Structure 1
Amino acid sequence: MAGHSKWANIQHRKGRQDEKRGKIWTRCIREIMVAARQGGGDLSANPRLRLAVDKAKAANMPADTIKRNIDKATGNLEGVSYEEIRYEGYGIGGAAIIVDTMTDNKVRTVAEVRHAFSKNGGNLGTEGSVSFQFRNVGQLILAPGTSEDMVMEVALDAGAEDVIASEDGAIEVLTAPGDFEKVKEALEGAGLKPEIAEVTMRADNTVDLTGEDAQKMQKLLDALEDLDDVQEVYHNAEIDEE
């Protein structure tokens, strides 16, 4: 299947994440604690915890920090209890936004999320207002220049649902969440290392934003991502700031 250009958006997103590296550890720790509390501290029996630990290692978090937070979550050490809450809303041009949070204070979190939306030209919606436009999938994206035929053969054999080639040469592999690790391991085993590999909320359709609208949308997304309680921000905007 052919898809629209997305590599520039991916590189842009990675660059912004690198700029916010200081917040990455905090988010990794919260995800580790919630995953361990819900599914136990055994990585071999808890796929969500394995993904959280992989993300923490990729962010260069020390092993003892990871272990300490698993122990906190499983009751071996005293720790803060976090609750997962999802918010939905609209950005510039009607773009759909999902905001996943982990919080120990719901009143504070909803106030901060609502303020970020309203201050930056968006609107906080009701539960279910935009989530129907997204699917929970495993997503692996390989750089332009990668062999599409090879990716397709390896990924589909490993159980991937779809392989999508973008106009700029990036290749996107989609899986069911439960098949994500198997497909990732198959690709890496074949020497195909994804630039992005995550279980995410992927929009079925996108909204193209350029010029001033693109800048306003990026400002709104930055404001949401900068909130301490926010773990992930998903949206369906294709942002071109040139």
Structure 2
Amino acid sequence: MAGHSKWANIQHRKGRQDAKRGQIFTRLIKEITVAAKMGGGDAAINPRLRLAVDKALDANMPKDNIQRAIDRGTGNLEGVNYEEMRYEGYGIGGAAVMVDCLTDNKTRTVADVRHAFSKHGGNLGTDGCVAFQFTHCGYLIFAPGINEDALMEAALEAGADDVINHEDGSLEVITPPYDFVNIRETLEKAGFKAEMGEVTMRAQNDTELEGDDAVKMQKLLDALESLDDVQEVYTSAVFDQA
């Protein structure tokens, strides 16, 4: 597809997420709290907590807020008891969608997620119906023009799983999920600063959408991402960014 660009798609998605920054602190606090509850309050030995704290610092969250969230998770402060839920389904054109939630009311959450799917032309499926189409990993995107050979050598030495050269000239470094922070820091020290990156559920195959289908799919993703209990939305959909 002429307009299909990995670089443009990720920039587009990041821009939409940045526009919703009012929700970001709330979601980060939930994730920090649950990570601390599951694996303890020491980020040095709790990789999930380290990822959450790192993301919070990147978002300029005050350290006091981070520590309070950790304390709620470890029981040093009272807090809401969140449960992790994952919902799977299909969007426009059969695009796979996974929705990760943290909730204190499962009945409310599943009703909200189901409503968002049905209202915008998607279908909420059964557990496992699309999970096999995604891989848990980290990614780092580098702008077109960077030295591919040098980046590949540095990335693989740092422990990356793969380096992908996209048709638009951008380079993508794929990392094991819990080595993401270390690899990013190692590459930065070597002079390679990513434009963006995160730990995600990466679709193994893209579902390319354009025109009205792309508009409808974006509305579905926006509806899901706007729900209070939703932490992350993953999809195989990519949009024509021509």
Q: What is the TM-score when the length of structure 2 is the normalising length?
A: 0.96
TM alignment of 1:4-83, pairs within 5 A: 5-83=5-83
Q: Give the length in aligned residue pairs.
A: 239
Note if contact 1:211-1:241 (Cα within 8 Å) is conserved in structure 2: no
TM alignment of 1:117-132, pairs within 5 A: 117-132=117-132
Counterpart residue number, 1:214: 214
Matched AA of 2:192: L
Instruction: Quote the offset at 1:236 in angstroms.
Output: 0.4
Counterpart residue number, 1:175: 175
% same residue: 69
CA distance in structure 2 between the aligned counterparts of 1:51 and 1:113, rounded to whole angstroms: 26
Note if contact 1:29-1:69 (Cα within 8 Å) is conserved in structure 2: yes
- Deviation beyond 3 Å, 4+ runs, structure 1: none
Task: Go from structure 1 to structure 2 and tell me whether the alpha carbon gap of 1:152 and 1:241 turns closer, same or farther (over 3 Å shift).
Answer: closer
Instruction: Quote the offset at 1:241 in angstroms.
Output: 5.9
Higher alpha-carbon deviation: 32-41 or 135-144: 135-144
List alignment gaps of at least 5 residues for structure 1: none
Instruction: Quote the offset at 1:182 in angstroms.
Output: 2.7
CA distance in structure 1 between the aligned counterparts of 2:86 and 2:41, rounded to whole angstroms: 24
Note if contact 1:145-1:170 (Cα within 8 Å) is conserved in structure 2: yes
Counterpart residue number, 1:191: 191
List alignment gaps of at least 5 residues for structure 2: none
| 1:125-150 C-alpha deviation (Å, 9 max, x unpaired) | 00010011111112111112221111
1:156 equivalent in alignment to 2:194: no
| 1:135-185 C-alpha deviation (Å, 9 max, x unpaired) | 111211111222111110100111111100111111111122233233212
CA distance in structure 2 between the aligned counterparts of 1:183 and 1:162, rounded to whole angstroms: 12
Instruction: Quote the offset at 1:54 in angstroms.
Output: 1.1
Higher alpha-carbon deviation: 169-178 or 122-131: 169-178
Matched AA of 1:164: I
1:113 equivalent in alignment to 2:125: no
